[in-house]
């Protein structure tokens, strides 16, 4: 496999929370994805200043779980299909629960996923020359693993995905070539509402494709080929490796998707975030509903298009939402004003991780002590500055939703100077991956 002698032989000794196997080679700990204890690898060393390793298996232990994806191990999308789901859950949850013990919450709940496949309501596939449609190779961003389907996305998406090849057959060279900078189509994104029949296919093109005669022809054929209720073309820079982003037009339907939770509709922009596994996220919502207080104000940080405000806003007279994405903020404010015409609604677009954003938070002039604050930040969590702002302006109740529980635990260490951790929920909307979701409920100290 490699034109050199192995650096050494490594046996996998244990599994880590990131679902990788770990072994020791000399004094080095080396992680190998998709491995199990007892697997043996010849390890090869490369590089001088920046050392990295590659490996070749020489003994593979029998697997008790059969991956549903034929490209598992090549594609970088999943990391756990070689493990039975209960083992995945235990590996991911145990270090979080152990670290949580130091904060001594009054109650801790854990929740396994009901389904470990066919759960994702959005997938983004790269498009490369020669009709290659797929996901990035594990460990190599420049290589694409062609996929005909993806077992963790919805059944609808797996029926829609092959239709792109029909479109590519009609328009040879439509795929964007990153080296030659020819062609136009960079990404194909599939979004499916879980609790209704709305669906969306998003084709991301280079910006020079916009308003061309070829675009009109491709749009016409797309309406004939795709089954999605909404077909969106969006356009961004040639050098930008970003899917479903930029200026957009609806070839059919709308540039937004309607999702339904608890009988309430959510208008999700084509480029807006929505929970990737709504069925599992219902457990989080039910947990929040059972814990949320009823003071005068609701503050919804990282609000997106108003997801939490729509679900829980009926209990409050004033709702403040903040997010960095203007399209989501606009959609959220419009929805909230329609749903709650008698309430004071204010949705603002600015960066909560920037000091100017914190200044705008201060200028909101909320009676923080009479507010429930919901925070659903990105994986990076809250910044130390934002945590200190919350410490200086203690709210009646702080509910922190996190897609990275380790960073949540990091932030608890700062917040505990002003807040007491009362309750904690750990659940798994992301089977086959190392990720989990958590909710922490805080009450203010010294009140």
Predicted confidence (pLDDT) per residue in 166-209, tens digit: 999 999 999 999 999 999 999 999 999 999 999 999 999 999 99
Query: Is residue 439, in this structure, part of any structural domain at all?
Result: yes
Q: What average pLDDT does range 330-345 have in this prediction? A: 91
Residues placed in the known binding site = 275, 302, 323, 376
Per-residue model confidence (pLDDT) at position 48: 83
**Co-location of 252 and 286 in the same domain:** no
Among 227-236, 362-371, 377-386, name the one with the lowest average pLDDT. 362-371
Q: What average pLDDT does range 315-334 have in this prediction? A: 90
Per-residue model confidence (pLDDT) at position 72: 94
**Co-location of 264 and 298 in the same domain:** no
Select from 188, 130, 124 the least CA-distant residue to 153: 124
**Co-location of 167 and 150 in the same domain:** yes
Choosing from 69, 78, 387, 403, the catalytic residue is 403
**Co-location of 136 and 232 in the same domain:** yes
For the chain, what is the domain count? 3
**Co-location of 110 and 129 in the same domain:** no
pLDDT at 138 over 90: no
Residues placed in the known binding site for S-adenosyl-L-methionine = 275, 302, 323, 376
| Percent residues over pLDDT 90 in the chain | 81
Domain coverage including residue 426: 87-115+276-444
**Co-location of 322 and 341 in the same domain:** yes
Per-residue model confidence (pLDDT) at position 245: 93
Q: How confident is the model at residue 25 (pLDDT cuts 50, 70, 90)?
A: very high
**Co-location of 357 and 339 in the same domain:** yes
Judge whether 150 counts as a catalytic residue: no
Residues 62-104: tens digit of each pLDDT: 999 999 999 999 998 999 999 999 999 999 999 999 999 999 9
CATH number of the structural domain spanning residue 195: 2.40.50.1070
**Co-location of 285 and 351 in the same domain:** yes
Query: Is residue 78, in this structure, part of any structural domain at all?
Result: no
**Co-location of 41 and 111 in the same domain:** no
* Separation CA 158–CA 309 (nearest Å): 32
**Co-location of 358 and 431 in the same domain:** yes
**Co-location of 410 and 322 in the same domain:** yes
pLDDT at 399 over 80: yes
Whole-number Cα distances in Å, 420 to 171, 260, 424, 427: 60, 34, 12, 21
Per-residue model confidence (pLDDT) at position 185: 98
Q: What average pLDDT does range 108-114 have in this prediction? A: 97
Among 269, 295, 317, give the residue marking a domain's end. Answer: 269
Among 221, 248, 269, give the residue marking a domain's end. Answer: 269
* Separation CA 387–CA 440 (nearest Å): 14
**Co-location of 292 and 387 in the same domain:** yes
pLDDT at 5 over 90: no
The interaxial angle of helices 405-415 and 85-100, nearest 10 deg, is 10
What are the DSSP E strand ranges found in 36-97? Answer: 40-46, 52-59
Among 214, 239, 269, give the residue marking a domain's end. Answer: 269
Q: Look over the chain and give the mean of its residue pLDDT values, rounded to a whole number.
A: 94
Per-residue model confidence (pLDDT) at position 1: 65
CATH number of the structural domain spanning residue 324: 3.40.50.150
Per-residue model confidence (pLDDT) at position 418: 96
- If one compares 285 and 328, the residue with the highest pLDDT of the two is 285
pLDDT at 447 over 80: no
Among 48-62, 214-228, 260-274, 370-384, name the one with the lowest average pLDDT. 260-274
Per-residue model confidence (pLDDT) at position 215: 98
Whole-number Cα distances in Å, 250 to 197, 199, 232, 427, 432: 18, 13, 5, 36, 33
């Amino acid at each position: 496999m490699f034109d050199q002698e192995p650096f050494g032989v490594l046996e996998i000794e244990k599994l880590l929370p990131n679902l990788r196997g770990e072994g020791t080679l000399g004094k080095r700990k080396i992680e190998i994805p998709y491995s199990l204890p007892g697997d043996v690898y010849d390890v090869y060393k490369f590089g001088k200043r920046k050392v990295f390793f590659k490996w070749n298996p020489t003994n593979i232990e029998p697997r008790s779980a059969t991956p549903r994806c034929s490209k598992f191990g090549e594609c970088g999308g999943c990391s756990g299909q070689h493990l039975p789901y209960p083992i995945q859950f235990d590996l991911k949850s145990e270090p979080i629960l152990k670290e949580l013990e130091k904060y001594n919450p009054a109650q801790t709940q854990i929740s396994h996923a009901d389904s470990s496949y066919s759960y994702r309501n959005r997938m983004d596939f790269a498009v490369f020359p020669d009709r290659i449609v797929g996901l990035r190779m594990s460990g190599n961003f420049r290589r694409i693993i062609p996929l005909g389907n993806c077992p963790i996305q919805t059944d609808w998406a797996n029926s829609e995905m092959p239709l792109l090849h029909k479109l590519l057959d009609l328009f040879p060279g439509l795929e964007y070539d990153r080296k030659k900078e020819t062609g136009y189509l960079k990404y194909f994104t599939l979004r499916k509402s879980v609790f209704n029949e709305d669906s969306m296919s998003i084709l991301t093109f280079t910006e020079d494709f916009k308003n061309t005669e070829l675009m009109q022809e491709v749009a016409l054929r797309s309406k004939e080929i795709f089954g999605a209720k909404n077909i969106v073309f969006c356009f961004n820079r040639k050098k930008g490796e970003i899917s479903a982003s930029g200026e957009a037009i609806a070839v059919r339907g709308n540039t937004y998707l309607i999702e339904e939770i608890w009988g309430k509709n959510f208008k999700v922009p084509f480029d807006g975030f929505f929970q990737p596994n709504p069925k599992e996220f219902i457990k989080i919502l039910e947990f929040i509903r059972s814990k949320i207080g009823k003071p005068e104000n609701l503050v919804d940080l990282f609000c997106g298009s108003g997801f939490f405000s729509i679900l829980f806003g009926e209990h409050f007279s004033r709702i403040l939402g903040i997010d960095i994405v203007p399209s989501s903020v606009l959609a959220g404010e419009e929805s909230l004003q329609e749903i709650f015409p008698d309430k004071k609604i204010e949705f603002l677009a600015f960066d909560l991780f920037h000091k100017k954003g914190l200044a705008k938070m201060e200028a909101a002039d909320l009676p923080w002590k009479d507010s429930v604050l919901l925070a659903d930040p990105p994986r990076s969590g809250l910044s130390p500055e934002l945590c200190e702002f919350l410490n200086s302006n203690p709210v009646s109740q702080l509910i922190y939703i996190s897609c990275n529980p380790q960073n949540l635990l990091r932030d608890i260490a700062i917040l505990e100077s002003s807040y007491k951790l009362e309750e904690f929920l750990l659940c798994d909307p992301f089977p086959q991956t190392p990720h989990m979701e958590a909710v922490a409920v805080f009450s203010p100290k010294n009140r």
